Amino acid sequence: MREHTLFRIWGHRLLEPELWHLHRRSVGGAFFIGLFCAFLPIPTQMLAAASMALIGRCNIALSVAVTWVTNPLTMGPMFFFAYKLGAWLLDTQVTITTVELSWAWLSNQIGQIWWPLLVGCLICGWVSGLSGMLVSRILWRLHVVRRWKQRLARRQSKIAF
CB atoms within 10 A of CB 49: 27
d(CA 40, CA 44): 9
Per-residue pLDDT of the chain (161 residues; tens, 9 = 90+): 566 665 666 666 666 767 777 878 889 999 999 999 999 998 899 999 998 998 888 998 999 999 999 988 998 889 889 999 999 999 988 877 777 767 787 788 888 888 999 999 999 999 999 999 999 999 999 999 999 999 998 888 887 66
CB within 8 A of 30, min separation 6: which ones?
53, 58, 59, 60, 62, 63, 66
CB within 8 A of 54, min separation 6: which ones?
10, 13, 14, 19, 60
d(CA 13, CA 17): 9
| Residue 126: Cβ-neighbour burial (10 angstroms; 0-12, 13-18, 19+) | middle
User: What count of residues does the chain have?
Assistant: 161
Whether pTM > 0.75 for this model: the answer is: yes
